[in-house]
Chain A
Amino acid sequence: MRYYRPVTTVEAVAALASEPQTSRILVGGTDLLVALRHKAVQPKLVVDIKGVQDLSAPITVDDEGITFGPTATMSDVVAHPVVREWFPALVEAAVVVGSVAIRNRASLIANSANGSPAADTSPPLVALSASVTIASVSGERTVPLREFFLASRSTLCGPGEMVISMRVPRPAPGSSSAFERMTRRRGVDLATCSVGAVVDGNGAMTVGLGAVGPTTLQGGPVAPVDLSSQDEMQRAIEALVATATPIADVRAGKPYRTAMIRVLTRRALLRAAGRRNDRGALPDVLGGSSSSTIQADPTIGRRSS
């Protein structure tokens, strides 16, 4: 295995293109180092992109949204006041990844780019209409995140390519979001299933669904319903989870996942809806927005991704 630290994006993609099948990108390393240790991957070339000077900054805010660079860590996401105000579902997902030490290294973009259907931050990002920009030696292209995932661990970012930024549009006035996840036990576990939900100002609902299909899935948008009506809510939830094709694995059986994805969807929708007039009001337990400390709800699980 060789190690290469390019200083420009052009150098980085040229290196990846020189060995498309046997090179790996290194950013946070929290997945790659574990895979290397278990010989799950045996790259000939590791391209450490943290020294690339022309990469997007970790977090850039403008009037229309936020751009994340590859080096944005989960801790950066959790601590950023505008991310907290605009994308509470993303913050709730980022804060349950691994431990503090893992969040200090783990890359937000890599969490999606690895293409795991159980990635914690992908469901909220899909629901929030995120898009990613992919670079290769032949240029750049931007695709919606919901189209980015092809199959488990397979994405539109092919061999020799690299995701160079992620864009999340500013939420429409009056909308909000929430994230729900279930794990078998608190700590160091992958999601049994997870939901990121966005409820618009007019009540339209969109979800991203994790670990109930080969990829992160989008559900909706569905038209506004009366949130207090059990029947209407049930119909909306059925429509939102219609894309889910849960399977049985070590974490849960199919019937259990099938039931729980509906429970989590309901919870996420109700919390997102309830939060709409109360923007930026993440619970204190997630840490004050002025603080760089990461403080998670101790009752929610965590898992290194």
Chain B
Amino acid sequence: MTASDVQSPDDIGSDQVNVTCTVNGKPAAFSVPPHRTLMDALRYQLGLTGTKTCCAEGECGACTVIIDGAGVNSCLMLAAEAEGRDIVTIEGLGAEKPRGICDLQESFLEAGAVQCGFCIPGQVMAAEYLLRTNPDPSVEEIREGMSGNLCRCAGYQRIVAAVQMTAQKRAIP
């Protein structure tokens, strides 16, 4: 909806916003107060808690999702802005796969990149976006592409290895 649907003559905009969008390939509809971030709406209204909350100000990447094909921090976006958008969260990546996890997640496990695991959904989403835009990244390109994703366990070497491993797997037809 546009906010003007509920506007009164002296009151532009609305203090409750109805949002319809696509989440992981399925239509979703929810109603949010304007200040709610997309991160919070995903977690607390849609129950998609794979998207993590950490800094909530764009510094750590734990909340990374892919919106209309672009990797973004869901903590830096109002849920109201999601109107009409196509959102992919970590839950959407492996949903169709037999083990429920995608090839990137398999590689993260194989490479031992998952330590406490908290940063991993965001790391995987950032890596997925990187590989979609650059299927054969160099180590430097991986490091730069994922530099917005922090890991407290500091498993960066293995995270980079997991991304490289996935790129190689995907290169084989």
User: Which A residues lie at the B interface, using CB under 8 A?
Assistant: 1-7, 11, 14-15, 18-19, 26, 29-30, 33-34, 36-38, 45-48, 50-51, 75, 98-102, 104-105, 187-188, 285, 291-296, 298, 302, 304
Q: List 13 A-B contacts (CB under 8 A).
A: A1-B34, A3-B3, A3-B14, A3-B34, A11-B4, A15-B12, A36-B35, A101-B61, A101-B72, A101-B126, A102-B76, A293-B130, A295-B140
Contact A100 B76 (CB under 8 A): no
Indicate whether B71 reaches chain A with its CB closer than 8 angstroms. yes
Q: Which residue of B lies closest to A47 (CB)?
A: B13
Which residues from A are CB-within-8-Å of B148? Answer: 98-102
Beyond A34-B57, A36-B35, A104-B71, whether A5 also contacts B2 by CB under 8 A is yes
User: Which B residues lie at the A interface, using CB under 8 A?
Assistant: 2-4, 7, 11-15, 17, 33-35, 37, 56-59, 61, 64, 70-73, 75-78, 80-81, 83, 126, 129-130, 133-134, 137, 140-141, 143-145, 147-149
Contact A29 B78 (CB under 8 A): yes
Q: Which residue of A lies closest to B133 (CB)?
A: A293
Q: Which residue of A lies closest to B74 (CB)?
A: A101
Shortest C-beta distance, A35 to chain B (Å), equals 10
Inter-chain CB contacts under 8 Å: number: 135
Which residues from A are CB-within-8-Å of B78? Answer: 3, 26, 29, 33, 46, 48
Which of B12, B35, B75, B137 has the largest number of chain A CB atoms within 10 A?
Answer: B12
Give Cα A242 to B136, complex, Å.
47
Shortest C-beta distance, A207 to chain B (Å), equals 27
Give Cα A14 to B9, complex, Å.
13
Which residues from B are CB-within-8-Å of A18? Answer: 12
Give Cα A251 to B17, complex, Å.
41
Which residues from A are CB-within-8-Å of B56? Answer: 37
Contact A296 B144 (CB under 8 A): yes
Which residues from B are CB-within-8-Å of A47? Answer: 13
Contact A101 B140 (CB under 8 A): no
Give Cα A299 to B86, complex, Å.
34
Beyond A2-B12, A100-B129, whether A30 also contacts B76 by CB under 8 A is yes
Contact A7 B144 (CB under 8 A): no
Contact B57 A2 (CB under 8 A): no
Give Cα A2 to B56, complex, Å.
21
Shortest C-beta distance, B2 to chain A (Å), equals 5
